[in-house]
Amino acid sequence: MSAKPILAALALTVAACSAITGPVDAGPAAVLPGPQANAHYTPAALAAACQGKDGWADPAPPAHIYGNTWYVGTCGITALLVTGPQGHVLVDAGVPEAAPLVAANVEKLGFALRDVRWIVGGHEHFDHAGGIGEMQRLTGARVAGIAPWAKVMATGLPDDSDPQYDDLVKHPMERVKTDRILASGAKIALGGTLLTATATPAHSPGSTSWTWKTCEGQECRTITYADSISTISSENYWFSLHQDRVAAVRVGLDRVAKLDCGILLTPHPSASDLFARMSAGLAPAPTACAAYAQAASQRFAERLAKDEKLKAATQQTIFEAIGAAEKAKKNR
């Protein structure tokens, strides 16, 4: 790492809660091509290029979302670049195979990889965070995240309270040290942009949603990167046996519903019809987060009912087996 990124990185602050200070030393300005220089990288062009493709490593062109925010992911997995004169933040990196595609998209837009100062993520699963180790090597960026996310990143292995543990453990990730542990509500301050982390533990223990404001002239928008909120699990996992997880899911869904909701982006584009919305112009929708959470709450309620039914059926089978054994004993 050259002296320039080190100096600039030192000038950045990741502050807990509301105590935010801006960079002390702005350092040399990062290259900021701006939306005009990349006018052809539109959301509609990205949506068209990804039509019929949703593979995690299916290459996609980058796209300008709004202001300082760019889509740099693949057709199947979102990665975002939030740019600023004092360096950039990368949000998620996809599967390891996607990392070179993400890096190429950053460069296609005219940004320098060495100007990426922070990497953060949505949740600690290999399809979103598996490429973070590679992106860290390519950029020299530091990594920030909430404690449950950082714990998994440190070992590369899933948390044992993760409903998808049995499947995730087959896909260990490259281990990554988190340089800054954030509390829910903490902000990353970078050259006038503040990214707020909100722990939304619906999909996984470390699920984190990110919100920030970005302006084009006087027109400002909130960008809301709401994490995954699906409550899928490995085959033999019953939510009814894990009440702590059920409570965490409810907290996560509730917080997602209440996020400052502007332009909604999600780790899996398909989870929020992102490409269809891109084709239509990607307008801010203040009620989109509540609707996104409401649909997931409905699916979670159905899943819990299914678990309860299965539990009752299993208990019935056990009772019948005990009954039959006792009857056999009496008849002996």
Site for Zn ion, rule CB under 5 A: 125
DSSP, collapsed to helix, strand or coil, labels residue 179 as coil
Alpha helix (H) ranges present in the chain?
Answer: 3-11, 34-37, 43-49, 99-108, 126-129, 132-139, 147-155, 165-168, 243-257, 274-279, 288-331
What is the closest distance, in whole angstroms, from the C-beta atom of residue 202 to Zn ion in the complex?
A: 11
| Neighbouring C-beta atoms of residue 9, cutoff 10 Å | 19
What is the closest distance, in whole angstroms, from the C-beta atom of residue 151 to Zn ion in the complex?
A: 16
What is the closest distance, in whole angstroms, from the C-beta atom of residue 228 to Zn ion in the complex?
A: 5
The residue nearest Zn ion at its CB is: 125
Q: Which is nearer to Zn ion, 88 or 125 (CB)?
A: 125
Nearest one of 143, 7, 16, 21 to 86, comparing CA atoms: 7
What is the closest distance, in whole angstroms, from the C-beta atom of residue 123 to Zn ion in the complex?
A: 5
What is the closest distance, in whole angstroms, from the C-beta atom of residue 125 to Zn ion in the complex?
A: 3
Q: Please state, in angstroms and rounded to a whole number, the distance separating the CA atoms of residues 312 and 147.
A: 36
Per this entry, what is the length of the chain?
332
Q: Which is nearer to Zn ion, 125 or 303 (CB)?
A: 125
Question: Residue 192 corresponds to which amino acid?
Answer: G
Q: Which is nearer to Zn ion, 23 or 252 (CB)?
A: 252
- Residue with tokens 């965490």, as numbered in its chain: 248
Q: Which is nearer to Zn ion, 114 or 125 (CB)?
A: 125
Q: Which is nearer to Zn ion, 125 or 277 (CB)?
A: 125
